[in-house]
Every structure is written in structure tokens, then in C-alpha cells.
Amino acid sequence: MTFPRLTRTLTCFSVAALILPLGVTLASAQTGVTEEKTQTAPLPVEQVVKNLEQANARRAAALTQFEGERVYRMEYRGFPSNRDAEMVVKVSYRAPDSKEFAVVSQTGSKFVIDHVFKKLLDGEKEAAAGENRSQTALSSQNYDFELASYEPSPEGGQYVLNVLPKTKSKFLYRGKIWVDGKDFAVVRIDAEPGKNPSFWIKKTQIQHKYVKVNDFWLPAENHTESQIRLGGTATLSIEYRGYKILKASPLSASDAGSSSWQTARSASRD
């Protein structure tokens, strides 16, 4: 097992999750849900996906410019040696797909900084480009969807969807996503790669969460853990903070998905 192979694993899988918040387009979904799940959820999976598609498109069109800060941390324990590193990066986004990164500080393993953190930044830029973005997007072109469950709450609840990639690709993932029932935005991902990128990687698990900033859902935290067949473990975490929306068009309540949520609530009461 070589350490560079592990870094490619982390880069491919993490980039796939990082590009979610800005302009993800979802079309029709394949279901396979049970009758019980359909009865407990206010909306069927087809409508959830349609609302998600429409709300994402409006948010992507409205968000023109923002900035924030990220803290990348990695801890590797195993062959050939233990390694730790941290890098703080300032991020500037400008629609439709421009991202600029400025390194604020970096400490620890230079190899990790150069071959994991900086490769993640390069990979995110590349994945955000038009054709690459469509190939890694959470869309019906790339995934099948089914309703796993519904978690009710006074704020609108969350739809839990199973996602299964249509092709075995290390840039896609399989697992679960949580969709906010009011804004129709992805708020959480719990998944693993659609294809194991290396024989030497025993298992990789990713957890990704989003936070609402004004009218927009942006990454909040990422935790990726890979188990190595020789007994090592690599843990990558990304903390997102200090968001500032610099330029955006206003979104009405209906644009954020509230009208669909109110319709669903009325239907469920009837």
C-alpha cells in the first residue's frame, strides 16, 4: 500500500460531496418504496425530487458570490508512518463556477498538505467545470433514488432517500441523503464510494453536513474515514466557517420550497 493511493481515494470521494451545494440538478427518480413508507411521508419520492430540483435551480441562480473559510485536518495512523496536518484556506466563490482558494496557514506533514489538501482544492475546481459537474452531480442521470423513511418535525421534517449510482465510479457514492422538507435542500449525506478506488482500501465512509446561511444551504462539516487493509486508518475532516453572502438575489418563501411544504402539510391533514 502506498500513501499516494490513499490520497487519491480521499480526493475523488470528497470532491464528489463538496460540489453538491451549488446548482445540483435532480430530475425524475426511480422509487421502489413500500406502501408503509408512502403513507408516512407527506410527499412521494417523485415529488420530493421534483421540489428539490426546482429549489436547487432557484438557489443556484440566486447565489452570485460568497466567501468563507475552511479548516482541513488529516490524521493518518499506519504504514509506512503516522502523519498529521492542518491547513486553513480562504474560499471565494463567484457564479457560475469560479472558486478561488488562498492558503492562510499550514502545519504538519508537507506530504499531506501537497498531496491531499492541495489536490482536494484542485479537484474541486476541476469537478465544478460544466461537463465534469454533470458527471458527478446527484442527478437521475447518475443515480437511482428510493424513499427510505420520513423524519417528521414542526419545522417541516426531513425525507431520507437511498441513493444508488447507476455506474460503478469512484467519483459517485451510495448511501443516504437527508432532504429538508421545507426548503427541499440536501442537509446531510452518509455514504461510501460507488466503487472502491483501490484494492488496498478496505472501507471508506463519508459524513457530510450542510448549514443554512441566509437563503442558501452550504457545507458545514465533512468527515471521511478510510480503513486500510494493512491495518492503518486515515481520517480527513473539513470544517467550514465564516460564511459571508456577498451578492445574491432575494428568494421568496415559495422559492425556498415553503409553498410545497405547506401544500404537503394541508394534504396530510386532509
How far is it, in rounded angstroms, from Cα 80 to Cα 138?
36
How far is it, in rounded angstroms, from Cα 164 to Cα 86?
33
The average confidence (pLDDT) of the chain is 80
Has this prediction a pTM greater than 0.95? no
Give residue for cell 482558494. Answer: 101
Q: What is the percent of the chain where pLDDT is above 90? A: 46
Which residues, 6+ apart, have CB-to-CB distance to 223 below 8 Å? 206, 207, 208, 235, 236, 237
State the average pLDDT over residues 116-121.
Answer: 90
Which residues, 6+ apart, have CB-to-CB distance to 262 below 8 Å? none
Look at residue 22 and tell me whether its pLDDT is greater than 90. Answer: no
Exposure of 3 in the CB half-sphere (CA atoms within 13 A): 19
Say whether 177 sits in a helix, a strand or coil: strand
* Amino acid (1-letter code) at residue 87: M
How high is the pLDDT of residue 118? 92
Look at residue 267 and tell me whether its pLDDT is greater than 70. Answer: no
The model's pLDDT over 157-212, given as tens digits with 9 standing for 90+, comes to: 999 999 999 888 777 889 999 999 999 999 999 999 887 767 767 788 999 999 99
Say whether 118 sits in a helix, a strand or coil: helix
User: How deeply is 142 buried, as exposed, middle or buried, from its count of CB atoms within 10 A (0-12, 13-18, 19+)?
Assistant: buried
- CA-to-CA separations, 216 to 56, 59, 91, in angstroms, rounded: 9, 7, 16
Say whether 267 sits in a helix, a strand or coil: helix
How high is the pLDDT of residue 204? 87
Domain boundaries, the chain: 3-269
The model's pLDDT over 125-154, given as tens digits with 9 standing for 90+, comes to: 776 666 666 777 777 788 899 999 999 988
How high is the pLDDT of residue 126? 74
* Amino acid (1-letter code) at residue 3: F
Look at residue 3 and tell me whether its pLDDT is greater than 70. Answer: no
How far is it, in rounded angstroms, from Cα 260 to Cα 54?
11
The model's pLDDT over 208-227, given as tens digits with 9 standing for 90+, comes to: 999 999 999 999 999 999 88
What confidence tier does 39 reach under pLDDT thresholds 50, 70, 90?
very low
> Percentages helix, strand, coil for the chain, rounded to the nearest 5?
30, 40, 30
Closest by Cα among 210, 217, 212 to 238 = 210
How high is the pLDDT of residue 94? 92
Q: Which residue would you say has higher pLDDT here, 155 or 198?
A: 155
How far is it, in rounded angstroms, from Cα 255 to Cα 182?
11
